Chain A
Amino acid sequence: MMTGFVALYIFLIAAIAGYEIISRVPVILHTPLMSGSNFVHGIVLVGAMVAMAEARGPLEVTVGFIGVVMATSNVVGGYVSTERMLEMFKSKKENA
């Protein structure tokens, strides 16, 4: 089990990594990147599945079910929309 301080270190380092990643992105990629990072926080599906497996009683199961539905929309929609935006760059490169 993680102690509070280990979690704090992880938060800190992840925050710096996130900052570094985007500070080198050209404006042309801002929209796909926004969509891509939206996809990345779709990792919430992992937690939603665990929460639903742990759920006991109708209330928890219902809320867990809604959570998994929403998380799946996030991850699937995030992937499809980012992929579609990036597809444009491919077709462009082939034309050039």
Chain B
Amino acid sequence: MGHGSLNDVVQASYLVATFLLIIGLKRMSSPRTARSGMLWAGVGMLLAIAVTFAYLPGVYRLVGSLEDLGGWWPRLGLILAAILVGGVPAWWSGRRVPITEMPQMVAIYNGLGGGAAAAIGAVELYSGRAYLGSLAFPLIAVVGALVGAIGLGGSFVAFLKLQSWMGSPRVIGRNLINGILGIILLALTVVSVHPAWISPELLAVDSLIGIFLLVSLAFGILITLPIGGADMPVVISTYNACIGIAVGFEGFVLQNPAMIIAGTIVGASGTLLTVLMAKAMNRSFGNIWLSGFGDVRTTVAAGPQRTMKSLDARDAAASMAYMEDIIVVPGYGLAVAQAQHKLWELMQMLQKRGVRVRFAIHPVAGRMPGHMSVLMAEAGVPYDLIFDLDEINSDFANADLALVIGANDVVNPAARTDKSSPIYGMPILNADQARQVFVIKRGRGAGFSGVENELFFGPNTQMVFGDAQDVISKMIQALKEL
């Protein structure tokens, strides 16, 4: 192996940094300690990066002395430049992007981590260092690069979909294309592990690795392309876990214990999070990946012509003022309209009038698991008013009103009854069982999954059409005048 062992100072620092990262993640598991947990993790990360940076001249001398490229200082300058080129836009975009667009930002930052893992693998393979020693090294370097590059391509598609810059195009014969590409990729993977199996006149190692990475990237894009936007939380979570493993693998190639441990912990926790999410949607992991929502289009259009009853925002507010028990069901539309603060203001006004107000959170409402919890927390809604699906579902039957704001698929009764529906079997909030249902909705279209919602045509349902921000502002005005 061309790698010198890390010196003791570096090793000890990595030990402390890894400890801080683990404790940080652990502290993030409770709302009270979450912020301090992030600080711990941040300090650990900074320590690992600073120590590595200080140690770089040693690394360079070890290898660079063989074939000097203008000396150490230009190289250090180049590394610093790369850090600035990557760090400044990320810092700027992370600060600036509205909180509703965070899911896609997480997707893109995540994908770039995968790309970095692939780049490490590529450098180690190009240099030939990964080919020294046992076959385990090139194998792990190649698999790590493969997973990282797939994660980069897939996360990029997830970003485009969440940003609504891309739909779910139907590719004719995509299973065949993916199958053929998959076989090519498998062959490239095997050959990349042991290039001696292929004649160098046919394909030089450098070109081989380049083609291998490009095909991996394309494969990641293609397998994510047909999956509908509603499944993106599961997709992002899957890639997050995969990229953690890729980082762990490249850590093994570099003999870097901090990377191995941090990467593997993300791989394990990310896998569990993915399973929890898929479970909340009552869909199997394989189902999401092999037949995305986007593929299924139900033809409910046939049948009796149905109408939605619409209601004026002011009238809705007036009737809410005289109710006793209201359950609010927030959805993605609320996040898009940025109406969470107004909503809480409205609910506080109702509380002062003696109305019991509670918030029902569906685990996959929005574009990320717990997205709505974050939104409610931002608005300042106390935890004891926020309820999970299991905690509150039986209470809808006794509630005067279910106020559905910009939510659709998570309250669609078809999930309980219609076996042909693509969302059949997904646990939903039983908003339809409340005595009355008000739905604040921008337009008359179907939900993100493309499925018509029976709830909107229900006998006790009234629709308040409009942007959530406008509608709720009108409601607040109406209550003030009451």
Contacts and interface: CB of A to CB of B under 8 A. Distances in A.
Interface residues of B, number: 123
A54 B469 CA distance: 54
B269 to A, nearest CB: 4
Name A's interface SS. helix
B277 to A, nearest CB: 8
Contacts of A28: 31, 361, 370, 373-374, 377, 383, 386
Nearest to B244: A41
A74 B67 CA distance: 31
A67 B119 contact: yes
A52 B80 CA distance: 11
A19 B268 contact: yes
B82 A65 contact: yes
Contacts, number: 375
B53 A49 contact: yes
B113 A41 contact: yes
Interface stretch (B172-180, B216-224, B257-265, B441-449): B257-265
Contacts of A25: 28-29
B99 A85 contact: yes
A48 B478 CA distance: 58
Interface of B: 1-3, 5, 21-22, 24-26, 28-32, 34-35, 37-38, 41-42, 45, 48-49, 52-53, 56-57, 59-60, 62-64, 66-67, 69, 75, 78-79, 81-83, 85-87, 89-91, 93-95, 97, 99, 102-103, 105-106, 108-110, 112-113, 115-120, 122-124, 126-127, 129, 134, 136, 152, 206, 236-237, 240, 243-244, 247-248, 250-252, 254-270, 272-273, 276, 361, 363, 368-371, 373-374, 377-378, 380-383, 386, 388
A15 B129 CA distance: 27
Q: Is the interface of B mostly helix, strand, loop or mixed?
A: helix
A77 B94 contact: yes
Interface of A: 1-2, 4, 7, 10-11, 14-19, 21-57, 59-61, 63-93, 95-96
Nearest to A95: B380
A38 B87 CA distance: 15
A44 to B, nearest CB: 5
B151 to A, nearest CB: 10
Nearest to A23: B272
Given A61-B69, A67-B116, A73-B87, A50 B109 contact: no
A23 to B, nearest CB: 6
A10 B257 contact: yes
Nearest to A12: B264
6 contacts: A30-B363, A30-B370, A50-B56, A63-B123, A68-B79, A72-B86
Contact of B82 (A46, A52, A60, A77): A52
Nearest to A38: B110
B120 A44 contact: yes
Contacts of A29: 28-31, 34, 370, 373
